[in-house]
Amino acid sequence: MISYGKQLIDADDINAVVEVLKSDWLTQGPNVAKFENSVKSYVGVDYAIAVNSATSALHIAYLALGLGKGDIVWTVPNTFVATSNAALYCGADVDFIDIDLATFNICPIKLKDKLEQAKKNNCLPKIVTPVHFAGLSCDMEAISKLAEEYGFTIVEDASHAIGGKYKDTYVGSCKYSKITIFSFHPVKIITTAEGGMLTTNDAILANKILQLRSHGITRNIDEFEFPADGRWMYQQIDLGYNYRMPDINAILGYSQMQKLANFIERRNVIAKTYFDNFSELPLGLQDCSSDILNAHHLYVILCENQEQRKELDSYLLANGISCNVHYYPVYLQPFYRKLGFKSGYCPIAEDYYSRCLSIPMYAGLSDDEVRHISDLIISFYKK
């Protein structure tokens, strides 16, 4: 069975983890900083902070920005529930912006329209979280201009997009945002088994995130609120969490970072092959402008309708190809319906969901497997 996504672990990764298992450090040790520095250097940002999941990263990103009761976070419905759930953890409210059917990303026009209405109603968002869906960066320049005009802060959910670029900068450089978060779940572009990371160019935010990552504790005597009893002293100055990344996970991430450029190159080769093979088929494909490097965490095709999607999925599964769907609109989940959201709220995202299918995309796919998958999809449409 060929899965829609899969990690690529080699002997270097395994040996790196084994070496840590033999060392004195298993939890948070020197390899966490090593991994953080590798990401910081790659994307071109001042601070990178590793955590135990991208959900944790979102949570403390929102907290570090002062999100709380009475505040609002806007994001897209075409994302994993964690993007909005993390705002609810902070006591804030959430709302959703519809997507652009060409890019599958947040639509800047719809965002501007909603901002204009929200300004009239005195309910502007504190934070807007664009999601770089499937590895394609959102139009960050347009969103950044809206942030300046309407006074919101941008947190980039780049769970899908490490290694991707927007214009002249890597995703994660925070050129257009305060904080970017990455995910290192096994089906993502690189993996730490479970893990996430925050990047920022703001020293104050970085320090706040470091404290929140580890119980709200500081060991910096300049931040102590009363004198230290000795060199062992630490003080809890905020209510934080145990969101730390263990050294075992960090060294796996560091090893994977050495191959990131190759992973992105391979994913783009696969994507181009799919694009060329499907160019004559009645399928919708994600549009990527020439000034964006798509990281291609996913490769999504849009069928003509829901029934055709179901038939294609069944046909591929019967032939050993396991696909997936990304995503059921967040606000249609039972929990969010209880908050008052209803069908029809973001009609483009709902139309997208009814027709989308994520076909296999990962760096370990062979040319023969890509050809086999393409041939099956072509044969389905010929029938």
In the block, tokens 């490490």 appear at: 162
- The H or E element spanning position 112 is helix 108-120
Q: How confident is the model at residue 226 (pLDDT cuts 50, 70, 90)?
A: confident
Of 147, 159, 63, 78, the C-alpha closest to 345 is 78
Of 302, 306, 266, the C-alpha closest to 287 is 302
Rg of the Cα atoms in the chain: 21
Query: 360, 2 in Cβ contact below 8 A?
Result: yes
Residue 169: phi and psi, rounded to 5, are -130, 150
Q: For all residues of the chain together, what is the average pLDDT?
A: 97
Per-residue pLDDT, 222: 86
Query: 90, 239 in Cβ contact below 8 A?
Result: no
In the block, tokens 């060991």 appear at: 219
- Supply the DSSP string of 48-84, one letter for each residue: EEEES-HHHHHHHHHHHTT--TT-EEEE-SSS-THHH
Query: 284, 101 in Cβ contact below 8 A?
Result: yes
pLDDT at 228 over 90: no
Per-residue pLDDT reduced to its tens digit, 120-135: 999 999 999 999 999 9
Per-residue pLDDT reduced to its tens digit, 136-190: 999 999 999 999 999 999 999 999 999 999 999 999 999 999 999 999 999 999 9
With 0-12 / 13-18 / 19 or more C-beta atoms within 10 angstroms meaning exposed / middle / buried, residue 242 is: exposed
With 0-12 / 13-18 / 19 or more C-beta atoms within 10 angstroms meaning exposed / middle / buried, residue 234 is: middle
Sheet holding 169-170, edge to edge: 169-170, 165-166, 292-293
- Supply the DSSP string of 252-273, one letter for each residue: HHHHHHTTHHHHHHHHHHHHHH
Per-residue pLDDT reduced to its tens digit, 29-45: 899 999 999 999 999 99
Residue 293: phi and psi, rounded to 5, are -95, 110
Q: Which domains does the chain have, with CATH numbers?
A: 11-257 (3.40.640.10), 260-382 (3.90.1150.10)
Which residue type occupies 305? N
- The H or E element spanning position 292 is strand 292-293
